[in-house]
Amino acid sequence: MEVKILVINLGSTSTKIAVYNNDKLFLHKELRHDPAVILKFENSIAQKDFREEQILNFISENNYDLSNIDIFVGRGGLIKPVEGGTYLINEKMIRDLTSMHYGDHVSNLGSIIAYDFAKKHNKKAYTVNPVVVDELSDLAKVSGFNGINRKSIFHALNHKAVANKYAKKVNKNYQDLNLIVSHMGGGISISLHKKGKVVDVNNALGGEGPFSVERAGTLPVFGIIDFWHENPNLTKEDLKRLLVTKGGIFSYLGTASGFQIAKRVLAGDKQAEFYIDAMLYQVNKNIGALYFAAKGEIDAVIFTGGLVYQQYLREKIQNLLIPNLNVVFYPGEDELQALAEGVLRVLNKEEEAKEYK
């Protein structure tokens, strides 16, 4: 039986759409958005009409109709911490995403839009391995200050997808490997996978880990306190939004476009290269911490995400890492395929859909 699946994956400056016939890709489009346009929206939920219009235009341009879709699936957003798996999107999940109770990020819209489309056509909507998959060890959750715990918010879908892809490549089970995975896109998340569980990872949205093209990453605590004190008109949400959308390389160079940054570096812009080198230094430092946390027992270090398409960046990464590491590059992400496959596992009764409570 052929099942048509519409897959929606929203990134900070991208809208990725695909239609699958079972596991075969039928239609695909990746739209890139000007960061300046995105920054005009008050929050991620305010982008809903803009993002939906982009998707509907793509469907229309290909003479397709949403009524032909059997299943809708969207990349998961900021909900309460959950175990990995495929979830049927329900009203409670939509309320949590829309209220931004657990945080504001455009990934919230993936499930919201999928559910919106599904409801209009009396179909079901799912999400797979949302960004809040929490498999952290008890030790990794300790922050160092009582009352504040470390949170697991990262590019879980792609981390799991590329880890499983590598496992298949070497003819091993994901559950038998120890891996470090670094996703490098608008945000950077670096995770330690031990025997099929992500036991440690930086909160890629909440101010941990390396800075990225648009996120500030780990900052000196006193520096943040002083900055907020010197800018008293900034609300708590203003400050969070500033650090997530206008931090990192954007704060130094005025652009979060990986393409534009690469263009400047390759044209000999020493300032641009300096901040890329600083970012990669922090990436390398965070990988080193996880390497030692795993006592050096690592089968591979995997780099993935949009920035990894840049050859100059891959070369810089390779030169930074210690010798004899098994380094693997998977540019971009396998998230669209991973979303479709998660739904198919449920439809094929290989696993049960989980309920969000």
Q: 190-211 pLDDT, tens per residue?
A: 999 999 999 999 999 888 999 9
Residue 170 and residue 302 in one domain: yes
Residue 327 and residue 339 in one domain: no
How large is the average pLDDT for residues 108-128? 97
Angstrom distances, CA of residue 272 to CA of 128, 243, 264, 281, 287: 36, 20, 6, 14, 23
Tell me what pLDDT residue 14 has.
87
- Report if residue 138 sits inside a domain: no
- Report if residue 141 sits inside a domain: no
User: What length is written for the chain?
Assistant: 357
Does position 217 have pLDDT exceeding 90, yes or no? Answer: yes
pLDDT band at 39 (very low <50, low <70, confident <90, very high): confident
Alpha helix positions (H), the chain: 35-38, 48-61, 91-99, 107-120, 156-169, 221-230, 236-245, 248-253, 258-266, 270-293, 311-320, 335-347
- pTM of the full structure: 0.84
How large is the average pLDDT for residues 172-179? 96
- Report if residue 126 sits inside a domain: yes
Angstrom distances, CA of residue 194 to CA of 142, 184, 197, 200: 18, 20, 5, 9
- Report if residue 139 sits inside a domain: no
Residue 277 belongs to domain with CATH number: 3.30.420.40
Residue 316 and residue 344 in one domain: no
**pLDDT tens for each residue of 231-267:** 999 999 999 999 998 999 999 999 998 889 999 999 9
The total of structural domains in the chain comes to: 2
- Report if residue 151 sits inside a domain: no
Task: Show Cβ contacts of residue 145 under 8 Å, excluding neighbours closer than 6 positions.
Answer: none
Residue 223 and residue 323 in one domain: yes
pLDDT band at 4 (very low <50, low <70, confident <90, very high): very high
Residue 308 and residue 280 in one domain: yes
Residue 118 and residue 245 in one domain: no
CB 283 within 8 A of CB 276: no
Share of the chain above pLDDT 90, in %: 87
Residue 169 and residue 108 in one domain: no
pLDDT band at 277 (very low <50, low <70, confident <90, very high): very high
More confident of the two residues 75 and 1: 75
Residue 77 and residue 221 in one domain: no
Residue 99 and residue 160 in one domain: no
**pLDDT tens for each residue of 47-63:** 999 999 999 999 999 99
**What does the alpha-carbon distance between residue 264 and residue 56 come to, in Å, rounded to a whole number?**
35
Closest CA to 9 of 42, 58, 43, 81: 58
How large is the average pLDDT for residues 37-44? 89
Does position 1 have pLDDT exceeding 80, yes or no? Answer: no
Does position 125 have pLDDT exceeding 90, yes or no? Answer: yes
Task: Show Cβ contacts of residue 24 under 8 Å, excluding neighbours closer than 6 positions.
Answer: none
Does position 84 have pLDDT exceeding 90, yes or no? Answer: no
CB 47 within 8 A of CB 13: no
Residue 285 and residue 341 in one domain: no
For residue 120, the enclosing domain spans 4-133+335-355
Residue 340 and residue 322 in one domain: no
Tell me what pLDDT residue 333 has.
81
How large is the average pLDDT for residues 142-169? 94
How confident is the prediction for the chain on average, in pLDDT? Answer: 94
Residue 340 and residue 251 in one domain: no
